[in-house]
Amino acid sequence: MNREYVERRDGGYWVAGTRVSLDSIVYAFQRGASPESIQRSFPVLSLEQIYGAITFYLGHQHEVKSSLRQGDADLDDLRTKAREANHELHGELDAARKRHATER
């Protein structure tokens, strides 16, 4: 029986039928997490779904890595826009971080 473990929707990859992004599984896998430890982080997923998602990633690394890079770039853009829109707040936060770092 052929089963789909990953689906593409909303511009990203998701564990099929769930709200868990493939990104979450891939980043944990790349950090060396075992499928069992990934399942502890995402108890809504079965081990079969996790292994299926990892297998999908291994078989489609180029596409998945491209999607991850695009997601990272999009996040960087959002951070930049948020910093520009709230420059005074971010200036205060940066100053507080520096004070905190020197107090250690």
What's the pLDDT score for residue 82? Answer: 82
Residue 34 within any structural domain of the chain = yes
Structural domain boundaries enclosing 39: 6-103
Contacts of 33 (CB under 8 A, 6+ apart): 41
In this structure, is residue 1 part of a structural domain? no
Give the separation between CA 27 and CA 34, rounded to whole angstroms.
12
What are the tens digits of pLDDT across the range 60-90? Answer: 999 888 887 887 787 788 888 888 888 888 7
Residue 82: how many CA atoms within 13 Å on its side-chain side? Answer: 9
Enter the pTM of the model. 0.72
pLDDT tens digits, one per residue of 29-53: 999 999 999 999 999 999 999 999 9
Locate 89 and state its tokens: 């707040």
- Whether residue 89 lies inside any domain: the answer is yes
Which helix or strand (DSSP H or E) is residue 50 part of? helix 47-59
Q: How many domains would you assign to the chain?
A: 1
CA distance 33 to 45: 15
